[in-house]
Amino acid sequence: MISEDAVFFKWDIGNIGKNKKHTVGDEEAEEVFFDTNKKTFTDRVHSGQEKRLRLVGKTRNNRLLFVVFTMRGKDIRIISARDVNKKEVYLYEKTT
């Protein structure tokens, strides 16, 4: 799913600051990728020209976020980030 050597986050005019409407900062959205208990799923419905993935994970402040992203080479490009809903909380908790 997420490449072992992926270490860079790609922020451009199309996605930088985009998640402020969900009160999620760019750096906070990145934090969930370092959660050892994160759960990653393929987003088959929204994968068109490129494969999209969904991730549920916790930030350093234990905020549980739902993040949609894609891999571009070794770069992770976050498409959206928001708080989880009840169903997504269950997905995270059943695996931890």
Residues 61-95 have pLDDT tens digits of 999 999 999 988 888 999 999 999 988 888 788 76
DSSP single-letter state for residue 5: T
State residue 88's pLDDT score.
85
Q: Tokens at residue 5, please? A: 């050597």
User: Mean per-residue pLDDT for 13-23?
Assistant: 85
Cβ atoms < 10 Å from Cβ of 1 = 9
Exposure letters 39-64 (e unless 16+ CB within 10 A, then b): beeeeeeeeeeeebbbbbbbbeeeeb
pTM: 0.83
Q: Of residues 2 and 68, which shows the higher confidence score? A: 68
State residue 2's pLDDT score.
55
